[in-house]
């Protein structure tokens, strides 16, 4: 095995801890997850978690920031390739909304949001990550709906907040009553959000 | 003061504990709330909470069931009086979606939903309350959209789940970033849900 430089080792530790954090938050939820369990899962010490992320909240923030970036990259690519209204809708419809892990992840996210009602500093950090993501999505949508001459049924900045809120709300309901069909509901909402006619050129 | 019968006393205790539960869940969230604090708020013993509701979860279930019934009564009345599409939309648009207490209450509800991911029995009880409420709302909407010749943009049972999920999702976001305008977003969604044309008679 090639010897790693110190920077490479650090980056690797960072990635391992992010991956272990995801697993443990998914398994336990946010509140019940402990730095001990995350460190043990990644086969590092608790100290490594504190050194890299400052603690459990910092690790959570790093994960949702990485996820927001990943979602944005995927969306940018899918929208760049979209040539029709249906492809815009498909790009926005998360493939995993009915997925059990997605529902559990949203439940963990809801726990964090509920808990941060009492913690203005964490709330501000989460809000900043969310706002940056939402602004980018709105500006991508503005670009591509213009290109494809689509006429959204509501202002795009509100549409983005709406889709995010609906996604987490549907996932939360899934954890309690998996009877509803969240994918069908999202498809209907996206259908009405981008009515099937195009602007006059 | 008139002496109360035993049944009247019991009913009164029940109501006082429900009211105290609301206050404490709103103040602390669900997980941090304790039976001790609720009992102290209502000026009863912990035993009274256990006797009337079996504990904190039972009290929570009693509160959300009472709220679901109250919402349904109000909606039934408002829809019965509605004579136009705009009045149907107004009846469905919760007046308090941007309200701070409503956001905190939804955060508490989200905490419960997240926690019940691990508790199938409580999840089943919550799901039953929610399903009964949603079914009644869908059937009320079916009756009055037919009467007013409105053509909903998606199946009404899905629309009801969608509005509930959107409501809790928007409220959760409000706890973190009160920048978005949830009332405007809900109005847009309701506008597209009931397009402004009527069926041919």
Q: For residue range B78-120, what is the model confidence (pLDDT) as tens digits? A: 999 999 999 999 999 876 656 777 777 887 887 887 777 677 8
Residues of chain A with CATH 1.10.357: 57-193
Q: What is the pLDDT of residue B72?
A: 95
Instruction: Choose among B94, B166, B102: nearest CA to A165.
Output: B166
Determine the residue of chain A that is closest to B109 in CA distance. Answer: A114
Inter-chain contact A164–B181, Cβ cutoff 8 Å?
Answer: no
Considering chain A, tell me which residue range(s) the CATH 1.10.10.60 domain(s) occupy: 1-54
Query: Is the CB of residue B21 less than 8 Å from the CB of residue B63?
Result: yes
pLDDT at residue B201, as a whole number: 47
Contact A175 B116 (CB under 8 A): yes
Of A153, A161, A170, Cβ closest to residue B180? A161
Q: Which residue of B has its CA nearest to A119?
A: B176
Q: In chain B, which residue's Cα lies nearest the Cα of A107?
A: B114
**B182 contacts on A by Cβ (under 8 Å):** 165
Distance in angstroms (rounded) separating the CA atoms of residues A168 and B173? 10
Q: Is the confidence at residue A160, as pLDDT, over 90?
A: yes
Cβ–Cβ gap A170/B165 under 8 Å: yes
The whole-number pLDDT of residue A150 equals 94
The answer to whether A145 and A74 are in contact (CB under 8 A) is no
Distance from CA of A61 to the nearest CA of B (A): 14
- Please give the pLDDT value at position A29: 85
* Chain B residues close to A166, C-beta within 8 Å: 162, 165-166, 169
A105-138 pLDDT, tens digit each: 887 887 887 777 677 888 889 989 999 999 999 9
Whether the pLDDT of residue A1 is over 60: the answer is no
Rounded to 5°, the CA angle A120-B31-A59 comes to 50
Residues across chain B: 201
Q: pLDDT tens digits, residue range B25-50?
A: 998 888 889 999 999 999 999 999 99
pLDDT of residue B4: 78
Would you say residue A164 has pLDDT above 70?
A: yes
Contact predicate B147/A200, CB 8 Å:
no
As a whole number of angstroms, the distance between CA A81 and CA A87 comes to 8
**Cβ neighbours of A195 (radius 10 Å):** 15
**CB atoms B169 and A173 under 8 Å:** no
Residues in A closer than 8 angstroms to B118, CB to CB, are 29
- Distance of alpha carbon B86 from alpha carbon B82, whole angstroms: 8
Which chain B positions have a beta carbon within 8 Å of A197's beta carbon? none
In this structure, of A36-40, A81-85, B116-120, B158-162, the range with the lowest mean pLDDT score is B116-120
Tokens of B52: 């009337």
Facing B110 at nearest CB: one of A110, A118, A184: A110
- Contact yes or no for B161 and A167 at CB 8 A: no
Report the residue of chain A nearest B108, measured CA to CA: A114
Query: What is residue A173's predicted lDDT score, i.e. its pLDDT?
Result: 83
**Cα–Cα distance, A169 to A76 (Å, whole number):** 24
φ/ψ bin of B29: left (φ > 0), alpha (ψ from -120 to 50), beta (otherwise): left
pLDDT, position A122: 85
Q: Which long-range contacts (CB under 8 A, 24 or more apart) does B51-55 make?
A: B52/B13, B52/B14, B52/B17, B53/B17
Rounded to the nearest angstrom, the minimum Cα separation between B97 and chain A is 13
Stretch among A89-93, A145-149, B132-136, B139-143 having the lowest mean pLDDT: A89-93
Task: With CB atoms and an 8 Å threshold, state whether A153 touches B192.
Answer: yes
- In this structure, whether the domain defined by A1-54 belongs to CATH 1.10.10.60 is answered with yes
Crossing angle for the helix pair B156-176 and B182-193, to the nearest 10 degrees: 170
Closest CA to B70 of B39, B35, B94: B94
Q: Two tokens at A125?
A: 């950090």
pLDDT at B11 over 70: yes
How many whole angstroms separate alpha carbon B9 and alpha carbon B5?
6
Of A134-143, B124-133, B140-149, which range is least confident?
B124-133
A201: pLDDT confidence band, cut at 50, 70 and 90? Answer: very low
Give the tens place of pLDDT for each residue, B139-165.
Answer: 999 999 999 999 999 999 999 999 999
The size of the A-B interface in CB pairs under 8 A is 162
Domain B60-193 falls in which CATH fold? Answer: Tetracycline Repressor; domain 2 (1.10.357)
- Residues B69-83 have a mean pLDDT of 95
In whole numbers, what is the pLDDT of chain A averaged over residues? 88
What separation, in Å, do the N-terminal and C-terminal C-alpha atoms of chain B show?
A: 61
pLDDT of residue A98: 61
pLDDT of B193 over the 50 cut: yes
Class of residue A138 by CB neighbours under 10 A (exposed 0-12, middle 13-18, buried 19+): middle
Q: What is the mean pLDDT of residues B5-29?
A: 92
Question: Which of A114, A169, A184 is the closest to B165 by Cβ?
Answer: A169
- State the CATH architecture for A57-193: Orthogonal Bundle (1.10)
**Most confidently modeled range among A166-170, A194-198, B52-56, B124-128:** B52-56
At A197, is the pLDDT very low, low, confident or very high (cuts 50, 70, 90)?
Answer: low
């Amino acid at each position: 095995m090639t010897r790693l430089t110190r920077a490479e080792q650090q980056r690797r530790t960072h990635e391992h801890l992010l991956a272990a954090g995801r697993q443990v938050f998914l398994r336990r939820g946010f509140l019940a997850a402990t730095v001990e369990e995350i460190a043990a899962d990644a086969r590092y010490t608790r100290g490594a978690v504190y050194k890299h992320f400052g603690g459990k909240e910092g690790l959570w923030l790093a994960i949702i920031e990485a996820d927001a970036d990943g979602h944005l990259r995927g969306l940018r690519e899918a929208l760049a390739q979209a040539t029709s209204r249906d492809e815009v809708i498909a790009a926005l419809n998360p493939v995993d909304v009915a997925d059990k892990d997605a529902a559990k992840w949203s439940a963990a996210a809801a726990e964090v949001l509920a808990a941060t009602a009492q913690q203005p500093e964490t709330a501000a950090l989460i809000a900043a990550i969310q706002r940056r993501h939402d602004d980018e999505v709105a500006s991508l949508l503005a670009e591509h709906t213009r290109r494809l001459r689509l006429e959204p049924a509501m202002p795009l900045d509100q549409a983005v907040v709406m889709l995010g809120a609906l996604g987490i709300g549907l996932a939360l309901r899934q954890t309690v009553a998996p009877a509803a069909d969240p994918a069908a509901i999202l498809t209907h909402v996206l259908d009405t959000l981008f009515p099937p006619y195009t602007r006059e050129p």
